[in-house]
Structure formats: structure tokens, C-alpha cells
Amino acid sequence: MDKLKMGTKNLADVNYKKLAALFPNAVTETITGYDENGKTIIERAIDADVLRQEISSTVVEGRDERYQFTWPDKKKTYADINAPIDSTLRPSRGKSVNFDKTENVYIEGDNFEALKLLQETYLEKIKMIYIDPPYNTGSDFIYNDDFAEDSNEYMQDSEQIDNEGNRMVQNTETNGRFHSDWLNMMFPRLKLARNLLAEDGAIFISIDDNEVTNLTKIMDEVFGARNRIAIICHKSRASISNDKIISPNHNMILFYAKEILNLEEKRKMIGLDPILEGFGLDDGDGRGEYRLVPVDGPGGEKKGNPFYEFLGIEGYWRFSKDTMQDKYNEGLVVKRGNSLYQKYFKSKAASTRRTATTWWDDAGLMSTATSKLKSLMGGATFDTPKPIELIDKMLRMITFEDENAIILDFFGGSSTTAHAVLQYNAETNGKRKFILVQVPEKISEKLEAYKNGYRDICEIGEERIRKAAVEIMKINKDVDTGFRVFTIEESNMKETFYSPKEVQQSLFMTYTDNIKEDRTPEDLLFQVMLELGVLLSSNIEENEIAGKRVFNVAEGFLIACFDTNISDEVIKKVAELKPLYAVFRDSSMANDSVATNFEQIFMTYSPDTVRKVL
């Protein structure tokens, strides 16, 4: 049996293995220092000279001038991205809706940790990401990613802290690191988010003028400038104020592909529902309704359109003379008065989608979104919710062909993204799933939301989904409107790493069981699922075998039992189910005889099952 690590991977190790596999001759070792006993510390390394030869290009080193975008502590963020964390997701059934059947996920906690925890399970599985991050206006909050801080410490001036004790600091313009702090918050999250996107996936990010230029630069670096599809202008306000030289009534939306070539292949299918009005003509030839559109060449001679006479009419035309003749022979070109037209059929229009970079009234206004949310919730809860119409446009552009798409929003806020996904599913009978992440930011006692009974933003977001579900079920009762709530907390496993000087006799008794006393079998199950790459939304069946609680996940992909005093009978019954993975507690066997028989039982009944212990 192999032992599960029960923690996130070190991404530096992952990247090193990929590089070593591509260029094994570049792998070497080097001395990095000496230990307390004076012995040399030797670590793996990559020989830059060999790597340079292999890639046959120029590797830039040192301080030579070159095009780049950098800021203080940027290098440190790479270490933060790669470093493993000792956290897990604990299920919260009390906050969830239809926990056993739903495929939607809501995570309470810091989104940097959440993105790390999702790396293995959701790698390249997310079809669309939408985020509405802090705009760095000086009054909103950003995250201070200091995971080494004691859980009891926090910033007294803001009194903002998440469940794990990670501080949230208010970023004012008087801060000398005003932009750097914001970039250090966003950059690692975007790096991790890109890993989760499917190869034909896309990401949308709302932002205002404060950081749009910096965000564009880091998006160009993380996703590649070639994968920038558009910078969309969203009219978010109808009113015009006089508090500035010019009144801003828009936000920008950065729209990037994971790999633009994958979207280019179906370019005409990306966009909004086509306009199918005005097709009132029909020749009764089986080709259906059509409307007439000009065939003259826009731009004329300047654009290089061909000039010739056709059906007695001279002009610059959209097609060559041969093509025009072919279309005429097919009955597609007709003469009306002194003009030529071609037939544009409704069936063709229905198969082509379109959109533009300016999104106005059909994308919703912030004021309208606020009013609708207030009406839904029965009172004021959230000051700046995004319009459902805005997210709906994105969903229709990217997921209209994929009714099983997974949509991620790791700045969940008021849960507009979840609401939009449920509503779109109701309209299309879709089965799209959402994953929302939101830090449980405390609500000030001065705000209406606090007076209405809410204590943190997660409470608002979760209640918004519940109330939206009631309305959506009136439209379509078959929609999955539930959601599984998870909280980010410390690992279920006890800390067992001590130096020889710290080991005392009492510790041996303490760690005969390496699992924390307050953790449930379901807690352990979801941490195992994360480690083995099993979706958090997977179906889970709970059965009893010889008096022991056994979980069957994803129709036999994983079978786990975390009870103690496991007998040969339990092991045999599990093996007979032939799961891909079978997981038990390390100390769960009833006696030495059962432990000895364990491997033999599996070799007899299910030799291909991967056996793991906690």
C-alpha cells in the first residue's frame, strides 16, 4: 500500500520534471550549502548552458535591457505559486443545498489557496472563468498572501481576516507599493487559474481605469499577447456625475483565450444569438426564408473590388465575375430595379454568431443589477453586484455548445455568476456547473447588509443562490440549483515532522493515529478526492459493509473506508467491487493478520486496484 501525501503538490517539482523529461541532458546537481553537521547540501539543478544549446535560441541572463514588465517582489510570487500548502476543503452540509445530488460548488476561503487545492482535480477542465477582482481604488480590500502568519494575528486597522488567519489589508494610494501590492495579489492567482482552463477555454476579467493597463500587461505575460481576443467596453452606469473632469460610466472586460487557435477554428460559432428577424421572403424551393442584401463591393476601387457589368448594371462588386455568374445560376443573385442583391438565408444566419467590443444596454447596468438584487434578497445586501445580463453574454459566447461546461469565479462576491449559470441552464435545459470562491470578508456593522442579518459576504452569496433557485425552479424544475459548500481549513492530518531534539516519549502515543480528532470520515474523503483528482461534484454513495462505513465515489472510481478495526471481510468486499482506487486509514486494520492478508486479498480479487492509506 502506498501512503497518500494529503497535501498540494510543489509546482516547482512538477515543472522540473517536465523540463527534465524534455531535456534530460540538462539535469545536473549542485552544492547549495552545508547542514548543521557540516555536510554539503546537494540539490537538483538545470544546466543553463546545456539548455541554451538545446533550444537553439538566446537565453537572456543578467541585467541586460530587454522588453519586460516587472515590479517589486515579482520574483517572490513565483515561489509562492510553486510552494505547497497544508490546507484542505472541509464539506459544510449545513450551508449546502441538496449536497448529495448537486454538482455545483461554493468554496469559502482565500482564493489563492483554493486555486492551489483545485490544481490537481480541475486541471484543464474549466471552460470559462469570470472574475470581478478588487479594482484597487484605495477603498477596496486586497489579499496579503503571508501564509506564515500565525492564525491569531491580523491587521488592527482593517480588522479583516479569513478563516485561516490570512490578513486582508486596505490598499490606499498613500502606500508606496500601491500598484505593486495589487499586482502581487493578482499575478499568482492568474498563473494558477490558467492551469485550470481547458484548451478551448476563455477568461473574462472586469476592471476599471485604475489598473486596466497593468492587468493587460500581466495577462499578456500569463496568457500570451497572441491570446488576447479583445478588451471590451461595458457601459455599467446610465447616470453621469460631475465629480471628475470626465464622468466614467464604463468598465473594461479583458477577454483572453487559453489557446486562441482552438477558438479560431470555430470563430463563427463564438458570439451571441443571431438576429433572425426580417427574413420574410420565401421562394418555396425548400431553401427556406431569406432576405436580400447588397452585392456591391464596399470601398470600391480603394478596396480592390472588381469592376464589371452584370445584368446591365456597371459597378464595383463584392465577388469576381465568375463567382457572380455562379451565384446567379444558382438563383442566389437577383435584380431589383437598378440594383443587384443576393439572397441571405435564415438557416445560414442561424448558424453564425456575432458580437462586438462595446457592450451597452443589453449587458445590464450596475444600478439595475443592484435594484434586482435588493428585490430578490428583500433588502440591501451588496453595493456593486454585476448584472446577470453581463455574465449571460459571456456564457452564451463560450458555453452555448457545451451544456456540461464548468464555470469558475474565484472572486465570487454576490454570486452573480452562479445566478447567471442557473438561469442559462433553465433556459437551455443545460447542465453547466459553477465553482465559486469567496473569502468570508466581514461586513461592517454600519452597512445595511449587517442590519439585515448578514455577517460576511459568503452568507450573502450563498443566500442569493438559494433565493435565485426558488425563482428559477418556477421556470424549469429540472435544473440543478443546489450547491456543495466547502471551507478551506488546515489539513486533516496531524503535523508529524519534528527534529530529533523535539521528539518526546509522549509524542509516540499522540501520533499512533495521524488524523486530527475533530475530523469526520467525510472530511477525509474530500481531501483524498482532491489528491486523487476526483471532481468535488462527483456522485458519492455511502454503504455499510460488515458494519463499516464505506464510500463509493464516481461509480467505483474510488472506494474509501476510514473506520477502524477493519476485517478481512470488509477488504474482500471492497476488492470484489474492483475500484480504480481503494483507500483506508493507515491504522485501520483490526490486527496484524488482517494487515498481512490485505495485499493478498486484493491480488486475488482486484490486482489492478491502486491501494492507498492515509
Q: Examine residue 466 and state whether it is found in any structural domain, yes or no.
A: yes
Grid coordinates representing 132 are 470581478
372 and 410, same domain (yes or no): yes
527 and 602, same domain (yes or no): yes
Comparing 192-206, 263-277, 416-430, 470-484, the range with the smallest average pLDDT is 263-277
- Mean per-residue pLDDT for 398-419? 96
242 and 208, same domain (yes or no): yes
Do residues 206 and 251 lie in contact, with contact meaning Cβ atoms separated by under 8 Å? yes
Among 143-147, 153-157, 502-506, top mean pLDDT goes to 143-147
SS3 content of the chain, % helix, strand, coil (to 5): 35, 25, 45
226 and 361, same domain (yes or no): yes
461 and 506, same domain (yes or no): no
Distance CA 206, CA 251 (A): 7
Of 433, 463, 490, the domain-final residue: 490
Q: What is the pLDDT of residue 207?
A: 96
CA-nearest of 564, 603, 556 to 582 is: 556
Distance CA 438, CA 89 (A): 13
Grid coordinates representing 286 are 425548400
Distance CA 275, CA 288 (A): 16
Domain that holds residue 308: 290-348
Query: Regarding predicted confidence, which is higher, 447 or 41?
Result: 447
Q: Phi/psi of residue 249, each to 5°?
A: -130, 25
Of 348, 377, 393, the domain-final residue: 348
β-pairing, 484-490 vs 126-131, is unpaired
406 and 436, same domain (yes or no): yes
Confidence of residue 511 (pLDDT cuts 50, 70, 90): very low
209 and 108, same domain (yes or no): yes
304 and 394, same domain (yes or no): no
150 and 36, same domain (yes or no): no
- What domain count does the chain have? 4
530 and 596, same domain (yes or no): yes
Q: Phi/psi of residue 544, each to 5°?
A: -120, 125
Confidence of residue 173 (pLDDT cuts 50, 70, 90): low
Q: What is the pLDDT of residue 147?
A: 35
CA-nearest of 484, 496, 470 to 587 is: 496
Residue 150 has pLDDT above 50, yes or no: no
Do residues 197 and 258 lie in contact, with contact meaning Cβ atoms separated by under 8 Å? yes
Do residues 468 and 423 lie in contact, with contact meaning Cβ atoms separated by under 8 Å? yes
Grid coordinates representing 128 are 470559462
Query: Regarding predicted confidence, which is higher, 498 or 250?
Result: 250
Q: What is the pLDDT of residue 1?
A: 63
308 and 232, same domain (yes or no): no
Residue 515 has pLDDT above 60, yes or no: yes
408 and 312, same domain (yes or no): no
Mean pLDDT of the chain: 86
**Can you spell out the DSSP letters for 231-257?**
EEEEE--S---SSSSS---EEEEEEEE
Q: Examine residue 71 and state whether it is found in any structural domain, yes or no.
A: no
Distance CA 114, CA 80 (A): 14
Of 330, 348, 366, the domain-final residue: 348
Distance CA 19, CA 396 (A): 38
First to last CA, the chain: 10
Confidence of residue 259 (pLDDT cuts 50, 70, 90): very high
Distance CA 88, CA 129 (A): 22
E strands along 467-547, which residues? Answer: 484-490, 540-545
Grid coordinates representing 164 are 485561516
Residue 507 has pLDDT above 60, yes or no: no
Distance CA 413, CA 538 (A): 25
- Mean per-residue pLDDT for 152-178? 48
Residue 296 carries which DSSP code?
A: B
Residue located via cell numbers 490578513: 167
Do residues 125 and 533 lie in contact, with contact meaning Cβ atoms separated by under 8 Å? no
